[in-house]
Chains A and B, each alone.
Chain A
Amino acid sequence: MNLELRWRILLILGLTALCLFVIYPPSDKIHLGLDLKGGIHMVMRVKTDDAVKAEIDLSQERIRSALGEKGLAPAKIAADGLNAILLEGLDAARVGEIRDLLTRQFGHYVLSSPGPGRLRLLLRPNEESAIRDTAVRQALETIRTRVDKFGVAEPTIQRQGSGASADRILIQLPGVENPERVKDLIGSPAFLEWKLVKVPPGVLADQFRPPDNPDAVARMFGGKLPDDVEVLPQEMTTADGRPVQVYWPVTKSSPITGNDLKNARRTQDRFGAPAVEFVLTADAGRRFQELTRKYQGQLLAIVLDRKVISAPRINAVIAEQGIIEGSFSLESAEDLSLKLRSGALPAGMEILEERSVGPSLGADSVRQGVVASLIGSIIIVLFMLVYYRGAGVNATVALVLNLLILLAAMAYFHSTLTLPGIAGFALTVGMAVDANVLVFERIREELRHGRTVRAAIHAGFDRAFPTIIDSHCTVIIAGFFLYAYGTGAVKGFAVTLNVGIVANLFTALVVSRSIFDAELTLNPKKETLSI
């Protein structure tokens, strides 16, 4: 046996061993997609506009106070479109001074003057995209924390998309069955605020009953709400179990928010009903103490995502620790405290795609896919053995090694096997023999032309080589675009197809040839070839 062939055989055996090692045990190493093992797949979009809007709102407040301190406050200050602020009614004589101040303190805006007494601040584009990017990253972190605390095995939480659509977050939770709870858990912003209830003039806090429509609130204030008051709804159930919404007049500003929380956990109120206990940071604790001292006897609304959860009366001075009561179930109290612990989402979320697959369907899909692939493979192998006899064994060995390499590559790169991926396997089997057929047919042709076995084998491989490369390349071109633009399960198909085709190049050109060469070396005077 010549040296070169010996090395090739060693390489093949080594590779086989390596593949087996990488694959073993398959149940751990081959990652099944959600369509096969069941679970929830979601693509969410972070509404990054929210974050930009929040920045504009915040800047408005800061401009107002910065200019106010110097007695330069404009008559009107308002958002202009999504990413700009318009100041109107400025003191024309002091516009220069105002410009200087704004340029100094609000450098991330571009100043322009659309008319006399007016200034426009446009958020710089790079600043805006940074804000959007941060919002997505924060959302990603928050969701990750929430999912981790929820206790899902092997979750996938990734940022997806590029350019303008880089605001996507992919969430995959294998084995989770109830999408509603998960969705609520990861999708709700969980922005917690404490706001003082502004009872209408002449009403005692204890006697105030929130009306069931927002207009009635305005009427209580004499038709028009004060500037610093807004109306927020609360969902309640009446004594006979009917759902009803009531409306609270509360302050627009929130002295304490969820950002001031240090910790939150599920607890019980004094009646044993589920409630949420919270701990504030030291600084917020001081502010809370001051607030509760100042407004003792009044009502303090606890607002989650712009909805009032409860509005208890301030009975005592509260510092760092408190309790939120509401009509919680065990589960919802647990979920709320979890959300509060993981922090608020910086922007709203929108669900673009949601798929949940039950475990029974996944199991069926695996069974059917594997059975179909096996049937196809067995028929193909039988056919190759009958048609090419000895060389058919050769092709079968190459085929088996082909599949082995494909599985090993998938295990090594942590690729996911999806249902279309299984179809990709079946197709790979069908196409894998293609290269063998090309070579075998060529060898037969050369034998017909009266060449010796050795010469026919060599000529067969050499002449079929460019064609094999060509035909594999075109499949890979299509496979590449399928991978680049495909989504979800289809990507899995592209992966198996592409890897299978590349592995096929190796098995058809190296493995199959080495087997022929080995036959020739063992029997140098071989005069007939079983092909």
Chain B
Amino acid sequence: MLQVFHNANFDLMGRIKWPFLAFSVLVMGLAVGTILTRGFNYGIDFAGGTAVRMKFRDRPRIEEMRVSLERSGLGDVSIQNLGDPQDNEVLIRVELTQSAGAATGSEGGEISRKVVEALQSPEWHQAQKAGKIDLNMITESDLKEWIAGRLSAGAGGGSVDEAAAIAAAVVRYRTDHAGLIRSSSEIASITGIKPEVARILQDQTMLGPFTVRSVDFIGPTAGKELLRNTLLAVFGSVGGILVYVWLRFKRWMWGLTAILALVHDVVIAAGAISLTRKEFSVDIVAALLTILGYSINDTIVVFDRIRENLRIYREVDFGTLVNASINQTLSRTILTSFTVFIAVTALFLYGGDKLNPMSFCLMVGVVFGTYSSVFVAAALLVIVYRLYGPKYVKI
């Protein structure tokens, strides 16, 4: 039989608990310090503004882009790489302008149009004026109309259905290839495109150097409201869990130490986000709340076992009893944290850049949540009992 610990019997609640507690205090202090001094890199969910996600055919030259964008008068612009470098993806963030705000009602779209115009080359603009369409930028409905026009102009006088089928085929190909058609030779290879149509497309369209994958605009009021809802959710959860723990264990000391462990985990996870400058978005809030719910889980398992043991061993030193309970549940604690850790690590490694900050936050939370159920919650419980509780506990 495979086992993590064979009859685990570590003395974790003896003197050794002090260095661990000191470590916790230190890490928490660092986390709070980081949050206070560096703050969070708030995503547009909270800060408002426009984020345009683009994918380039070749490695984007960030500095040149910055110059072009600043020249176009978009105000504060930040450009960051997304995902792996070979993905050639960037996120361009434009702050909310003071005057306009959401009042104009068209910031997102207008800004993304300005960004696109600023980043396209003069040759591109010229070709566009000359009537060429960019196959990497055009929407399916526009492409359909354009093709319908070309087909009826040429010989044969194709039908609207045919144009729709061609447009759909081109867009499907583009979608399957991360939104970009890289060379005009690819056009001929698209299934469902006849050679003569491919020739029209090759001659009369161009393939721009990038495509816009998503545009997000958040007005100034939405961010404020989100912050309020976030705080409500966090305090609601903490309050709810506090009430639950109190109802379940009926002793303030238990509830208090459990909640302290919880605060410890969430603060450290938030600190890790602040330290790594990962974007603080709604997803991070979701991750933090999940940590709230999950990390108390481990603590409760340990506490449940302590309570159960209290009923069995009536006259035992409390510290010894807690230590035994921890050892009895240690395999379980390590195992379940391990499986959750596997799940979030897989998300972190393979889930793509959108899930990356969230899964990172969860990873930190799971590790510290496991650690804190033993070295914060149980250790504090022992200390609090020594100070305020009876040495021998009677149930």
Max chain B CB contacts within 10 Å: which of A183, A386, A437?
A437
Contact A372 B351 (CB under 8 A): yes
Contact A420 B358 (CB under 8 A): yes
Contact A179 B339 (CB under 8 A): no
Docked CA distance A470–B225 (Å): 32
Contact B336 A434 (CB under 8 A): yes
Contact A368 B351 (CB under 8 A): yes
Within 8 A of B (CB), among A408-452: 419-420, 422-423, 426-427, 429-431, 433-434, 437-438, 441, 444-445
Q: Which residues of A contact B141 (CB under 8 A)?
A: 177-178
Docked CA distance A118–B134 (Å): 66
Docked CA distance A368–B353 (Å): 9
Q: Which residues of B contact A475 (CB under 8 A)?
A: 290, 293-294, 297
Q: Which residue of B lies closest to A382 (CB)?
A: B342
Contact B332 A180 (CB under 8 A): no
Contact A437 B335 (CB under 8 A): yes
Docked CA distance A439–B84 (Å): 42
Within 8 A of B (CB), among A309-359: 349-359
CB of A27 closer than 8 Å to a CB of B: no
Contact A441 B332 (CB under 8 A): yes
Q: Which residues of A contact B234 (CB under 8 A)?
A: 481
Max chain A CB contacts within 10 Å: which of B212, B230, B289?
B289
Q: Which residue of A lies closest to B351 (CB)?
A: A372
Contact A426 B343 (CB under 8 A): yes
Cβ distance A110 to chain B, nearest Cβ, rounded Å: 31
Choose one: B105, B107, B241, B351; the contact of A477 (CB below 8 Å).
B241
Known: A372-B346, A437-B336. A427 touches B293 (CB 8 A): no
Cβ distance A34 to chain B, nearest Cβ, rounded Å: 10
Max chain A CB contacts within 10 Å: which of B293, B332, B342?
B293
Q: Which residues of A contact B171 (CB under 8 A)?
A: 359
Docked CA distance A433–B278 (Å): 30
Choose one: B139, B219, B229, B294; the contact of A487 (CB below 8 Å).
B229
Q: Which residues of B contact A497 (CB under 8 A)?
A: 290
A143-168: CB near B (< 8 Å → 1, else 0) gives: 00000000000000000000001000
Cβ distance A179 to chain B, nearest Cβ, rounded Å: 5
CB of A473 closer than 8 Å to a CB of B: yes
CB of B109 closer than 8 Å to a CB of A: yes
Contact A423 B233 (CB under 8 A): no
Choose one: B177, B226, B300, B332; the contact of A470 (CB below 8 Å).
B300
Contact A187 B105 (CB under 8 A): yes
Q: Which residue of B lies closest to A359 (CB)?
A: B175
Contact A490 B175 (CB under 8 A): no
Cβ distance A409 to chain B, nearest Cβ, rounded Å: 19
Docked CA distance A419–B218 (Å): 19
CB of A207 closer than 8 Å to a CB of B: no
Contact A476 B293 (CB under 8 A): yes
Known: A360-B174, A364-B178. A484 touches B236 (CB 8 A): yes
Contact B106 A351 (CB under 8 A): yes
Known: A354-B108, A368-B355. A420 touches B340 (CB 8 A): no
Q: Which residues of B contact A271 (CB under 8 A)?
A: none
Choose one: A380, A387, A419, A445; the contact of B355 (CB below 8 Å).
A419
CB of B120 closer than 8 Å to a CB of A: no
Docked CA distance A319–B177 (Å): 57
Q: Which residues of B contact A484 (CB under 8 A)?
A: 233, 236
Choose one: A422, A441, A478; the contact of B237 (CB below 8 Å).
A478
Known: A368-B355, A386-B2, A427-B290. A353 touches B218 (CB 8 A): yes
Q: Which residues of B contact A426 (CB under 8 A)?
A: 343-344, 346-347, 351
Given A183-B105, A353-B218, A376-B347, 20 more pairs with CB closer than 8 A: A178-B142, A352-B102, A353-B217, A354-B108, A356-B216, A358-B211, A360-B213, A368-B351, A368-B352, A372-B349, A420-B286, A422-B355, A444-B3, A477-B240, A477-B241, A478-B240, A481-B232, A481-B236, A482-B233, A485-B236
Q: Which 7 A-B pairs have the closest CB atoms?
A: A478-B293, A430-B343, A376-B346, A360-B179, A368-B352, A430-B340, A485-B233
Sample of 24 A–B contacts (CB below 8 Å): A178-B139, A178-B141, A183-B106, A351-B105, A358-B214, A359-B171, A372-B347, A372-B350, A380-B343, A386-B2, A427-B362, A431-B294, A431-B340, A434-B340, A437-B336, A467-B304, A467-B305, A471-B297, A474-B241, A476-B293, A477-B241, A479-B289, A481-B233, A485-B232
